[in-house]
Amino acid sequence: MNPTAVISRRREHAGDTKSPSTWRRSALRRAPVTKRGAHQWTRAPRNERSDELAAQVGRRLNGASGTLAASVLFDSGIEHYVGAFHNPAMITPLITAAASLAASLHGVADRRPAAHRFRDTVYAAAALAGCAGTAFHLYNITKRPGGLCWQNLFYAAPVGAPMAMLLSGSLGFLAERVRDTDAHEDPKILGLPAGRTLAAATSAGIAGTVGEAALLHFRGAFQNPLMLAPVTIPPVAAALLGRASLDSSDRARPFTRWWLRLTAALGFLGVGLHVFGVHRQMGGWRNWRQNVMSGPPIPAPPSFTGLAIAGLAALTLLESRGE
Amino acid sequence: MRQFEEADAVDFVVVGTGAGGAPLIAGLAEAGFSVVGLDAGPFFRPLEDFASDETAQRQVFWTDERIVDGANPIVMGDNNSGKAVGGSTVHFAMVSLRFRPEWFKARTLLGYGADWPIDWQEIWEYYGRAERLLAISGPVTYPWGPPRPAYPYREHQLNGAAEVLARGCEAMGLAWTPTPIATLSAPRGDAHPCVYRGFCRVGCSTNAKQSQLVTSIPRAIRAGAEIRDLAMVGRIEVDEAGRATGVHYLRQGRWRFQRARNVIVAGYAIETPRLLLNSANAQFPEGLANSSGLVGKYLMTQSNQAVFGKMDQEVRSYKAPPSLTVTEHWNYCDEKDFFGGYCWMAQGPLPIEWVNVLTGSKGLWGRALREEMKDYNHQVGLKMVGEMLPDPRNQVTLTDELDQYGLPVPRITYSWGDNDKAMIAHALDQMQMGLEAAGARDVFRQENDTCHLYGTARMGFDPETSVVDADCRSWDIPNLWICDGSIFPTCGGVNPSLTIVALSLRTVDRIKALASRGDL
């Protein structure tokens, strides 16, 4: 077993060896070639610095939050432009998503294992804006004839869309909590084990996003069989993450990890398919100014990518220690 | 496209390629029969041939000369007959409603009209098939009638006019629903989803409209059927044994004869009786299939009165399909003092059509008309489709005048009965209440419009009281079939096209069944 294989950046800290923090940077690491000439999967030692790992996981979560923010920024930009910014409040998601994206980029670049007041403020504001947006969208649905009916769920303000803003803000906020971990502490979120909390939150986020995709693909009558992908693949990821959040062991979860990677890839694939979907509108890409608005939303699918990245970060936390 | 020799008898020649004819042509060709479909109209290519121009698009209407009379002469030519491959479905409003089940036993259960010789539950199956054929975009659940499966495509987004109907209904406590409609809300095959141009009733130039021209006709051609356009059938030939042997038709300036083992007439409620009556010979001096004397009789149209008004906000009712919401409340509610039912739908008249309404119903002209047209974006309306009762005095007959083909011009006689008038009065009051409840002002009524045609070759239980049997086969001539709106014994309070398609699909199955046991 070779500890150098698992520790990339080590900073000494007085009293570290007796630290109650016993979590490892990564549960499974590829060790150097053994005498037998084969790679050996091995567990990391239990003496690694928690704040370093926290910073790294936190940065990944910043990235996840940023992916969601970028999705919201472009999606709400297009959709609210279609709505002609009828209500001045419709500019809100553009501001909060842009700020959340900026904060996330800052967070990804920032290797310090600590939360940042600017990022915290932005993320909290973005999450609040997501909640307010959901309320606004619900109001928009219910004020129309028919109230809460399929017609309005399909075509009024999409009830699930502001949730992506809420998710971006929440993941960012969680990122900051993870980054805020002391060198000798287990990462906690609101006093709960960070990995399991994050896994549960991400699982719920994926489930909600599946709901949104299911509603809109149902509206499209699943006319292309590939439209079933976001209602079949991510639900499995949500279930696997949900199960992981209930499980306190630090065992490796390679299947969950691969399924999350598949979900992340689906987000990118979805962009490609939605680009194709725009082509299926009358006039195709020659009439892009109309069809980008009337066709499937190109910026929406990467929400799955952002959430899958967060799920992978949650796995890393889970696998690095028993919670 | 496969082509057949005129001298070789094909299994079926189908006269008319609309809602009645096209599904038959496709279904029979797919079953392996040799089929030729004839249509008097051109084979349009909508992407190239159709303009966003009301006047130019009159090219899809059947505007040949007719003589109309009676107390309430029917205005012919626009919303009730089409001349094109695909028939009237090229310009129909795409509204695809099912009959109320009780209407198939209107005489027994509701006390008026006549019973159909077909059970509603059997038609219910064919409605489902017709809806899949046309990829109907409709609501997930339908508020009236027995359960039906979800429509193949989802409902469209409501336009301004549709929302006004919904608000009015909610104020009156009536149920409403997005209309099941035959235009795509998502891609299908090569077709793009609807782009909400709003020119639906003069021909869809994008092919989002699932007319027979873009659904059954391509299938028919793929299956080996031949479609001959610009072919006006003038006469059905019958041999001494009393069997049809083919049709005489005018094409490229010369009368031709297509031999056939079976003839199916699907020319709609004016052209079908006209052809049968004009095919009279020594053996059938009163016209073909007319031993009952009912060919041309029991003509029905539907009341299509409207109430229009103005909203303070812009509605732009002419954008998107015109009838995106409907209330069938009075089709399913029997607490009223007249027979039959009606529904009403949102409206979206195009500019010339709107001028016609203003001049015809409001008497506006000159400056006053110009001023009124400035409010075009604010106008909104509700229009009924109401069941008129069958009456043998309403009929199609032949005159001595000849048209451009040298064929006798039909005379179309129509008068409303007291029941029809009572229903119209009821509907106008209800619609006005709905429009005013939705906030419209300056409300006025369009009291004279009608739409759709039915009944001139009714189906029934016996040769004395009907022209065709439940299989759409004429009682008198076993290889002569009729399948279009003219076979309806009653017309119900909904638009006819879906029911015609369902009957056509059923007739395909019946013919296949009869053929398999050697009964053709």
pLDDT tens-digit map of A237-284: 999 999 999 987 888 999 999 999 999 999 999 999 999 999 999 999
Q: Does B251 touch chain A (CB under 8 A)?
A: no
Mapping DSSP to helix (H, G, I), strand (E, B) and coil, where does residue A254 land? helix
| DSSP H or E run through B227 | strand B226-228
Looking at residues B234-247, what average pLDDT do you find? 97
Looking up tokens 């077909």 gives B118
Residues of B in contact with A282 (CB under 8 A): 192-193, 195, 206, 208
Is the predicted pLDDT of residue B297 greater than 80, yes or no? yes
Share of chain A above pLDDT 90, in %: 74
Would you state the pLDDT for residue A33?
39
Pick among A282, A287, A289 to test the B interface (most B CBs inside 10 A): A282
| DSSP H or E run through B276 | helix B268-278
User: Each residue of B418-432: pLDDT tens digit?
Assistant: 999 999 999 999 999
Q: Which chain B residue has its CA at the smallest distance from A220's CA?
A: B186
CATH assignment, B10-516: 3.50.50.60
Bridge partners of B13, per DSSP, are B36, B263
Q: What is the mean pLDDT of chain A?
A: 86
CB A178 within 8 A of CB A136: no
Bridge partners of B395, per DSSP, are B413
Q: Which chain B residue has its CA at the smallest distance from A143's CA?
A: B167
- Record: contact B170-A155, CB cut-off 8 A: no
Q: How far apart, in whole angstroms, are the C-alpha atoms of residue B12 and residue A319?
A: 73
Query: How do B35-38 and B10-15 pair as beta strands?
Result: parallel
Residues of B in contact with A223 (CB under 8 A): 153, 186-188
| DSSP H or E run through A208 | helix A194-219
CA-nearest of B107, B200, B179, B177 to B136 is: B179
What is the predicted ipTM?
0.94
Q: For A151, which of B153, B155, B193 is closest by C-beta distance?
A: B155
pTM of the model: 0.92
User: Each residue of B364-398: pLDDT tens digit?
Assistant: 999 999 999 999 999 999 999 999 999 999 999 99
**Phi and psi at residue A181, to the nearest 5°:** -65, 135
